[in-house]
Amino acid sequence: MADSNTIRLRVFSLNCWGIRYLSKHCRERYAMIGELLSREEHDIVLLQEVWSEKDFLCLKRKLSSTHPHSHYFKSGVIGSGMATFSRHRIHDAFLYRYSLNGYPYMAHHGDWFGGKAVGMVILNIGSLAAHVYITHLHAEYSREKDSYLPHRVVQAWELQQFIRHTSSGADLVILAGDLNLHPQDLGNRLLRTYTGLRDSYTETAKFDGCEDGITLIADNPFINPKELCPFEKGIRIDYILYKGSGRVSIQCESLSTTKGSVPDHPFPYSDHEALSAELQLQTLTQQAGGDETRGDQDCAAGKLAELVDIVTEARTEVKVGLYCAERMRYTAARTGVMGLALLLLELAIAAVPWLGADQPFPRASFYLLGVLCFAILITTFLLYIFYTMEVKSLQGAEDQMRLAVGSLQERLRRFPLAQPLNPLCRPPDRQDPCPLEPEE
Amino acid sequence: MADSNTIRLRVFSLNCWGIRYLSKHCRERYAMIGELLSREEHDIVLLQEVWSEKDFLCLKRKLSSTHPHSHYFKSGVIGSGMATFSRHRIHDAFLYRYSLNGYPYMAHHGDWFGGKAVGMVILNIGSLAAHVYITHLHAEYSREKDSYLPHRVVQAWELQQFIRHTSSGADLVILAGDLNLHPQDLGNRLLRTYTGLRDSYTETAKFDGCEDGITLIADNPFINPKELCPFEKGIRIDYILYKGSGRVSIQCESLSTTKGSVPDHPFPYSDHEALSAELQLQTLTQQAGGDETRGDQDCAAGKLAELVDIVTEARTEVKVGLYCAERMRYTAARTGVMGLALLLLELAIAAVPWLGADQPFPRASFYLLGVLCFAILITTFLLYIFYTMEVKSLQGAEDQMRLAVGSLQERLRRFPLAQPLNPLCRPPDRQDPCPLEPEE
């Protein structure tokens, strides 16, 4: 395992909060972000919430000399908001839209209109193929009563599936973005354990940033501290994750975040803090592996057992979501039937005068009631279709999870176990311990 | 390149036309299909248009002894209709929903409600990892005036992207399904050239089926021959495609299709013909490659040049679709504004009596006109949102195609060319000639 070559790679990630005319100081902040990026010259820049393509194009012009390669991912009604800039040529881009992403009628939350997705760009760093992923998951508006939890769990599930299945040929994998997940949240554990991605914050020895690595901090002037409750200081929901391969070993040399203010500027870059990681890639001339020890086996078995638990937990969460979605669909159907019954009743009553009754149906009430019935019918019909799609997506995710658990359990049975499992072992001197590829 | 092991793999594909209560003899045909499958015991069965989950579960029960492993892909409002049965254990399943799939208001075509997608299952055949894909693209309702062409091209684009990016770790790749594409259609060329997948019909020496391999034949009693016009005998739109890898060489030993009737039965299995391919897998003990000749280089360069042409053609088609979608969105917006203007005008006229005019606005007309205006506003608003999503998806696909062309052209420039390109060379004695992987 001799090292022939060491490459330094700097990665930047920021949720820009770039809603034109609504986000505070949007234009000025984009100018600041552009200045920062041209000055710092990171290798890879991954931005979220660049909602307007005009702002992307403006940044692209500004960074044309430092970051000649870029890609803007389009999706949904507004767009995915995800943009990437690179000093290395981008060879390929691919987008996966999450099957679930909130509700269109929750327009004030706006997530549905954003068309949340995970984008992948493939670029070559020297002779290495880097698969770089960017994503932004559905926001959490209330930690206590989080009605979007099943959607976010399904998004995390689809995210790990997408990364796992599209990164087989990669020498290195990088994922950055606003996951809207705390470090120990179900979706985060699912993602990290299944893909083997490592968190630059926990892996680096040199961290410079806010306490506990938080990226949504109470001190940020754009943040309403009440919304962070019960986390007084803030939360960590933005990440740079990475993993190497048999050809490349990666170490996170340092990670830094902004701290809520920018020197010589009256306000920060965004409501989120920016992350900047320095990764060191070491190409391995000799492929590791082949001499698997008993300790490695125990570790892999432990990881598998942990994964079974996590996927089972996710499945439970999806089932809860499925129950809610089916109930909502039932409510929509029942309301629709009531609207139809009301309409028929009205028509029957209105028909009575022609049959010889004395008092005619008041014309104004007749029309108003008719309009109401039609509005109910159309709305419930659209909702019924929407909830049916939600049910199908949740059922699909649950089916896939059931399949995954079965497959993991079968692999687990193949391990000759004499000792209790050690689910958290991680040898510190080995790259990507116990990767859980479809078939090892 | 010694062969150590030869495996025989039988693959079956059929579009079942399984719309409960609408498709003719649906129940009886499913019984026939179930009988056929339990009798034939194919290794992998890939069915499309199994629209009802009940029918899938019924088949699953029937095939529980011959095909113990199965997966049903759920998507959209009705479902994706795609089901797979396997004699080999399915380890993983993943679904990619196409970003474009017709229009919800074209309810009589129904494609939008089906949630068209490509499904992948990973299974182990001996020690080999097989990535098996199943798909069903948007139907072509008129060859002369095909308004869905841009959607189908984008679906073919996303299909090839999905297969290319998720099959890096595969030893063998199989794709089967109803592509709704003729052999030389743009989408088909895009798919085959980019992925390197080979068509079992053109590759096999032993074919038993309808003339020219057609799978939608005029002789089928469920087909209206007028719909096939101008192709009197029929068209070939169902496929079994495959490719090997450095570890496995694949040959298609034989391919057969049904011929519109089933012995001892009054009607055929479906309106489509069923395909049955026998593949021979040969595991290679020694990896090929490394001794690239000038001829290989020319071939790869030729393939790249061909691919550039095809992607450029696809880009043009997507641009046409983009133009249409933008025009439709503009029409929706204009109609919406007219509806709003009409509503305001009506309110103004209705307000006149209160201002002292003689003739009041007739009440019935007032309400009817108001309802009409509201209906226009809601419909155009929904259409505007829908067309915006269509525009974004088309723009996204076009961006990715532009990126791909740039990357292909750059790779092409690296070839030292002295002779004119030979775009169609294919050495007959080599497996998967000139594969166009992201980076060779």
Residues B86, B96: Cα–Cα separation, whole Å? 20
Enter the tokens of residue B234: 């029929």
Q: Does B322 touch chain A (CB under 8 A)?
A: no
pLDDT of residue A336: 95
- For B350, residues 6+ apart whose C-beta sits below 8 A from its C-beta are B361, B366
Query: What length does chain A have?
Result: 440
Which residue from A minimizes the CA distance to B74? A396
For residue A230, cis peptide bond before it (omega within 30 degrees of 0): yes
Is the CB of residue A22 less than 8 Å from the CB of residue A41? no
pLDDT at B128 over 90: yes
Rg of chain A over Cα atoms, rounded to whole angstroms, equals: 26
Handedness of CA A211, A214, A215, A221 (dihedral sign): negative
Sheet of strand B275-284: strand arrangement: B69-73, B82-86, B44-48, B3-15, B275-284, B248-257, B207-208
Q: Which amino acid is at A67?
A: H
Q: Which amino acid is at A198?
A: R
Is the CB of residue B154 less than 8 Å from the CB of residue B397? yes
Judging contacts by C-beta atoms under 8 Å, the chain B residues touching residue A166 are 165-166, 168
Helices (H) and strands (E) in chain B, counts: 9, 15
Judging contacts by C-beta atoms under 8 Å, the chain B residues touching residue A400 are 92-95
pLDDT of residue A422: 42
Q: Out of A42, A67, A131, A272, pick the active-site residue.
A: A272
Is the CB of residue B90 less than 8 Å from the CB of residue B67? no
Block residue for tokens 């609408």: B22
Comparing CA positions, the residue from B281, B49, B88 lying closest to residue B177 is: B49
Comparing CA positions, the residue from A74, A49, A72, A84 lying closest to residue B392 is: A74
Residues B151, B397: Cα–Cα separation, whole Å? 10
CA distance to partner chain B, nearest, from residue A269 (Å)? 27
N- to C-terminal Cα separation, chain B = 21
Comparing CA positions, the residue from A56, A67, A50, A39 lying closest to residue A14 is: A50
Put simply, the chain B residues between 64 and 103 with a CB less than 8 A from any chain A CB are 71-77, 79, 89-97, 99
Judging contacts by C-beta atoms under 8 Å, the chain B residues touching residue A92 are 165, 400, 403-404, 407, 438
Residues A301, A16: Cα–Cα separation, whole Å? 41
Judging contacts by C-beta atoms under 8 Å, the chain B residues touching residue A77 are 385, 388-389, 392
Give tens-digit pLDDT for A330-340: 999 999 999 99
Which residue from B minimizes the CA distance to A393? B75
Mutate to test the interface with B, among A116, A381, A392 (most CBs of B within 10 A): A392
CB count within 10 Å of CB A435 equals 17
Q: How confident is the model at residue B302 (pLDDT cuts 50, 70, 90)?
A: confident
Judging contacts by C-beta atoms under 8 Å, the chain A residues touching residue B377 are none
Q: Is B310 exposed, middle or buried (0-12, 13-18, 19+ CB in 10 A)?
A: buried
Inter-chain CB proximity B77 and A389 less than 8 Å = yes
Known catalytic residue at B272? yes
Q: Outline where DSSP puts E strands in A138-200.
A: 172-178, 198-199
Q: Does B147 touch chain A (CB under 8 A)?
A: no
CA B197 to chain centre: 14
pLDDT of residue A164: 96
Residue B83 bridge partners (DSSP): B47, B72
pLDDT of residue A440: 33
Residues B175, B119: Cα–Cα separation, whole Å? 10
CA distance to partner chain B, nearest, from residue A149 (Å)? 20
Residues A86, A67: Cα–Cα separation, whole Å? 5
Mutate to test the interface with A, among B84, B89, B92, B411 (most CBs of A within 10 A): B92
pLDDT of residue A437: 47
Q: At what angle do helices B53-62 and B26-40 cross, to 10 degrees?
A: 30
Give tens-digit pLDDT for B173-231: 999 999 999 999 999 999 999 999 999 999 999 999 999 999 999 999 999 888 888 89
Residues B394, B150: Cα–Cα separation, whole Å? 8
Judging contacts by C-beta atoms under 8 Å, the chain A residues touching residue B97 are 97, 99
Put simply, the chain B residues between 375 and 414 with a CB less than 8 A from any chain A CB are 378, 382, 385, 388-389, 392-393, 395-396, 399-400, 403-404, 407, 410
Q: Which amino acid is at A187?
A: G
Residues B381, B202: Cα–Cα separation, whole Å? 48
Residue A234 Rama label (left phi>0; alpha psi -120 to 50; beta): left
Residues A88, A277: Cα–Cα separation, whole Å? 17
Mutate to test the interface with B, among A165, A287, A410 (most CBs of B within 10 A): A165
Average pLDDT, chain B: 88
Give the mean model confidence (pLDDT) for residues B101-116. Answer: 87
Block residue for tokens 């079992």: B200
- For A77, residues 6+ apart whose C-beta sits below 8 A from its C-beta are A113, A114, A115, B385, B388, B389, B392
**Dihedral of the CA atoms B95, B96, B97, B101 (nearest 10)?**
-120
Comparing CA positions, the residue from A346, A274, A329, A91 lying closest to residue B400 is: A91
CA B91 to chain centre: 23
pLDDT at B119 over 70: yes
Q: Does A52 touch chain B (CB under 8 A)?
A: no
pLDDT of residue B1: 40
Enter the tokens of residue B219: 């002789």
Q: What is the ipTM of this complex?
A: 0.87
pLDDT of residue B417: 55
Inter-chain CB proximity A403 and B90 less than 8 Å = yes
Residues B111, B108: Cα–Cα separation, whole Å? 9
Q: Outline where DSSP puts E strands in A258-379.
A: 275-284
State the pairing for strand pair A44-48/A3-15. parallel
Which residue from A minimizes the CA distance to B92? A404
Residue A48 bridge partners (DSSP): A15
Give tens-digit pLDDT for B3-19: 458 999 999 999 999 99
Is the CB of residue A343 less than 8 Å from the CB of residue A312? no
> Whole-prediction pTM value?
0.89
- How many angstroms separate the Cα of A30 from the Cα of each of A55, A61, A154, A264, A271? 8, 12, 32, 15, 13
Enter the tokens of residue B348: 């103004």
Is the CB of residue B296 less than 8 Å from the CB of residue B431? no
DSSP state string for B115-151? --EEEEEEEEETTEEEEEEEEEPPP-S-SSS-TTHHH
CA distance to partner chain B, nearest, from residue A197 (Å)? 18
Residue B268 Rama label (left phi>0; alpha psi -120 to 50; beta): beta
Q: How confident is the model at residue B259 (pLDDT cuts 50, 70, 90)?
A: very high
Comparing CA positions, the residue from B395, B387, B412 lying closest to residue B157 is: B395
- How many angstroms separate the Cα of B114 from the Cα of each of A127, B83, B383? 43, 13, 19
For residue B230, cis peptide bond before it (omega within 30 degrees of 0): yes
Residue A95 bridge partners (DSSP): A119
pLDDT of residue B109: 86
Is the CB of residue B131 less than 8 Å from the CB of residue B158? no
Residues B4, A96: Cα–Cα separation, whole Å? 39
Which residue ranges of chain A lie beneath pLDDT 50?
A: 1-3, 289-290, 418-435, 437-440
CA distance to partner chain B, nearest, from residue A161 (Å)? 7
Put simply, the chain B residues between 99 and 118 with a CB less than 8 A from any chain A CB are 99, 115
CB count within 10 Å of CB B416 equals 7
Is the CB of residue A79 less than 8 Å from the CB of residue A53? yes
Alpha helices in A208-266 (DSSP H): 225-228
Block residue for tokens 């997948």: B197
Is the CB of residue B49 less than 8 Å from the CB of residue B16? yes
